[in-house]
């Protein structure tokens, strides 16, 4: 169908059908095959702004969404001032910087690494897992061996600042992360390219001062990230344990499949998490979502979560609505 006919069909569906509900079980994607050819990228938190810039360079040159999201999230991974992703990330309680990341493409291919030490760009290792192995996920020592075999450099990721903060933390050794500050700055990124295809990436050093060996939601396909090229993609930030329990990003995508707009899908997923928790006062979870038509949205439990959006016209940070 050419784009004009597709537009007319879309208009005929009307705004209610587009932003409202489809009966549960009726696949949104199969009823509506429209897609946007306007590239767009969205990502979590304010470090999403420079990350989006890098992704946008790929998208604006008609590049692929997969290359865009990888290039985008490599920016905070390499930035020691971003204390919750990659190099310079907060260590675990034993002083190890252990990283989690995953990536997903338009075919539903995915790759993931978890509990990976000494490699500055876990997202690129995750992509290699996707492209060079028959597996989806490699963890710990095995992931490191694989990365080294692929030519990644072994580095010390614990910066003097992070080491100093960890030494201070050790004085009390209390695991009580401060919401929106210490443990919620994962970068999750979703892109739609000029070919109408989606991809996503998610990368983090995880919760600050976590137990050694702890893995959050960010490298778990369906929890920290999910992309279905017929429908849309979603990614999560916040307390990984709460996101994993609800397989949060997959839930958001399925809600979009049922016909919900991205922001509403994020809100319903947040509300599901809230409804199952006894105490949400200290809990933060945020989702962002992008659908096949290039519509986007985000939602979180507590105020303070924002996300960055970049397309041909827009380059801005948006405060996500919250349920509290």
Q: In the complex, what is the shortest distance from the CB of residue 163 to ligand SD4, in angstroms, rounded to a whole number?
A: 18
Of 196, 190, 189, the C-alpha closest to 38 is 196
Specify the residue, 56 or 209, whose C-beta has the smaller distance to ligand SD4. 209
Residues in the chain: 324
Neighbours of 203 (CB within 10 A): 34
Q: In the complex, what is the shortest distance from the CB of residue 194 to ligand SD4, in angstroms, rounded to a whole number?
A: 30
DSSP code string of 213-264: T---STTSBTTTEEEETTTEEEEEEE-HHHHHHHTHHHHHHHHHHTT--HHH
Neighbours of 32 (CB within 10 A): 20
The SS3 assignment for 89 reads coil
Helix (H) / strand (E) containing 11: helix 3-19
**Is residue 237 flagged as an active site residue?**
no
Specify the residue, 196 or 206, whose C-beta has the smaller distance to ligand SD4. 206
DSSP single-letter state for residue 210: P
Sites of contact with ligand SD4 (CB under 6 A): 84, 183-186, 204, 206-207, 216-218, 237-240
Q: In the complex, what is the shortest distance from the CB of residue 31 to ligand SD4, in angstroms, rounded to a whole number?
A: 33
Secondary structure E strands in the chain: 40-44, 99-104, 110-116, 137-139, 187-192, 198-204, 225-228, 232-238, 285-291, 296-300, 306-311, 315-319, 321-322
Specify the residue, 238 or 298, whose C-beta has the smaller distance to ligand SD4. 238
Of 44, 84, 98, 186, the active-site residue reads: 186
The SS3 assignment for 278 reads coil
Task: Name the region of 27 (left: φ>0; alpha: ψ -120 to 50; beta: rest).
Answer: beta
Specify the residue, 6 or 245, whose C-beta has the smaller distance to ligand SD4. 245
Q: In the complex, what is the shortest distance from the CB of residue 202 to ligand SD4, in angstroms, rounded to a whole number?
A: 8
Q: In the complex, what is the shortest distance from the CB of residue 206 to ligand SD4, in angstroms, rounded to a whole number?
A: 3
Q: In the complex, what is the shortest distance from the CB of residue 108 to ligand SD4, in angstroms, rounded to a whole number?
A: 22
Specify the residue, 39 or 224, whose C-beta has the smaller distance to ligand SD4. 224
Answer yes or no: are the C-beta atoms of 205 and 158 closer than 8 Å: no
* CB-neighbour burial class of residue 2 (10 A; exposed 0-12, middle 13-18, buried 19+): exposed
Q: In the complex, what is the shortest distance from the CB of residue 198 to ligand SD4, in angstroms, rounded to a whole number?
A: 21
Specify the residue, 149 or 324, whose C-beta has the smaller distance to ligand SD4. 324
Helix (H) / strand (E) containing 140: helix 140-149
CA distance 116 to 130: 16
Residues recognised as catalytic: 186
């Amino acid at each position: 169908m050419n784009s004009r006919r597709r537009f007319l069909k879309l208009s005929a569906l009307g705004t209610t059908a587009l932003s409202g509900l489809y009966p549960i079980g009726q696949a949104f994607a199969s009823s509506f095959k429209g897609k946007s050819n306007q590239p767009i990228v969205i990502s979590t938190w304010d470090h999403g702004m420079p990350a989006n810039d890098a992704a946008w360079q790929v998208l604006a040159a008609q590049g692929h969404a997969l290359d865009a999201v990888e290039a985008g999230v490599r920016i905070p991974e390499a930035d020691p001032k971003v204390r919750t992703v990659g190099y310079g990330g907060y260590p675990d309680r034993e002083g190890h910087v252990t990283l989690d990341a995953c990536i997903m493409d338009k075919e539903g291919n995915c790759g993931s690494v978890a509990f990976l030490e000494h490699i500055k760009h876990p997202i690129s290792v995750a992509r290699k897992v996707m492209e060079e192995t028959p597996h989806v996920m490699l963890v710990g020592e095995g992931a490191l061996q694989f990365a080294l075999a692929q030519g990644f450099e072994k580095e010390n990721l614990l910066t003097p600042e992070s080491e100093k903060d960890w030494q201070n933390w050790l004085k009390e050794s209390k695991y009580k992360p401060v919401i929106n500050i210490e443990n919620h700055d994962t970068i999750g990124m979703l892109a739609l390219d000029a070919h109408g295809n989606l991809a996503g990436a998610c990368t983090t050093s995880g919760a600050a001062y976590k137990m050694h060996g702890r893995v959050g939601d960010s490298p778990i396909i369906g929890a920290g990230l999910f992309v279905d090229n017929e429908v849309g993609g979603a990614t999560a930030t916040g307390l990984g344990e709460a996101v994993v329990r609800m397989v949060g990003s997959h839930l958001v995508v399925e809600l979009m499949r049922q016909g919900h707009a991205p922001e509403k899908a994020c809100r319903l997923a947040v509300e599901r998490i809230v409804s199952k928790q006894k105490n949400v006062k200290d809990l933060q979870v945020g989702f962002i979502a992008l659908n096949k038509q290039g519509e986007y949205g985000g939602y979180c439990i507590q105020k303070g979560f924002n996300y960055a959006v970049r397309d041909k016209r827009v380059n801005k940070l948006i405060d996500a609505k919250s349920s509290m």
